[in-house]
Amino acid sequence: MSEPVPTRVAIVTGASRGIGKSVALRLARDGRHVVLMSRSAAPLEDLKHQITSAGGKASVKAVDVADAGALAKAVDEVADEHKRLDILVNNAGITRDNLVLRMTDAEWAEVIQTNLTAAFVAIRAAARPMMRGKFGRIVNIASTSGVVGNAGQANYAAAKAGLIGLTKTIARELGGKGITANAVAPGYIETDMTSALPQDIKDKITGMLAVKRLGAPEDIAAAVSYVSSDDAGYLTGQTIVVDGGMTMA
């Protein structure tokens, strides 16, 4: 008989709400020990309680991913505490939308730091324990804005496009060591970011979609669940677009 697979340890950044929260809940349901990361501890503690009350496993690491030193230290601590690190989901992200002629250097830099540089820092820190374990699943939450662009989001689209390029490079560098890297690119998802959109804009967007509805965070969590699973060992360097058919050729 083969030995049972030990509990996989997964880090999810930006886990306090929206897509990150749904991803954390789904991975916990899949049997992972989920390490919840975001700046504020309080919502993470609430989510941890939700997970553990349902029989899952979770712990909390409050860290600002824009602080590269603190983020790298937090990833190292997770690997040391659990003696392993199997899954990294880089989900944390912000927007600072503006037309390019009005966008400030600060708006540009803040989005690039949080949405792209933080992912690089976390991947670099996670790679060594994954290599030691001869297993790893790196999942970067990109966006259709990084695939086709979006007016008013030069910073966000550039960061997400960079995330896709980073994903492909990491896949090439680490594929021979049992580590895969994939991006999941959501379209319009019902989150705090889209809740502020006027209803007529939402209706217009919905009319463009093949499925005639906005996505739910759980739609993205389902995709992350598969690409981070043991079954997805031959899937790497890909961008899984989950957008209700918005960008299909």
Domain assignment present for 109 = yes
pLDDT tens digits for 191-242? 876 777 788 888 888 998 999 999 999 999 999 999 999 999 999 999 999 9
Phi/psi zone of residue 215: left (φ > 0), alpha (ψ -120 to 50 degrees), beta?
beta
Q: What are phi and psi of 7, to 5 degrees?
A: -60, 125
Domain assignment present for 146 = yes
Domain assignment present for 248 = no
Angle at 170 between CA 162 and CA 91, to 5 degrees: 55
Position 1 scores a pLDDT of: 45
The CA distances from residue 172 to 118, 193, 204, in Å, are 20, 33, 39
* Domains in the chain, number: 1
Position 4 scores a pLDDT of: 59
Write the CATH number for 125. 3.40.50.720
Domain assignment present for 3 = no
Q: Print the domain residue range for 41.
A: 9-242
Instruction: Find the mean pLDDT for residues 50-57.
Output: 98
**What element of type H or E holds 34?**
strand 33-38
Catalytic residues: 156
Which of the four pLDDT bands, split at 50, 70 and 90, describes residue 5? low
Taking the CA atoms of 232, 238, 243 and 246 in sequence, report the sign of the dihedral they define. Answer: negative
Domain assignment present for 1 = no
Domain assignment present for 2 = no
Q: Which amino acid is at 143?
A: S
pLDDT tens digits for 19-50? 999 999 999 999 999 999 999 999 999 999 99
pLDDT tens digits for 98-118? 999 999 999 999 999 999 999
Contacts with 243 (C-beta within 8 Å, 6 or more apart), sequence order: 144, 185, 186, 187, 188, 209, 215
Domain assignment present for 4 = no
Domain assignment present for 54 = yes
Instruction: Find the mean pLDDT for residues 75-81.
Output: 98
Supply the pTM of this predicted model: 0.95
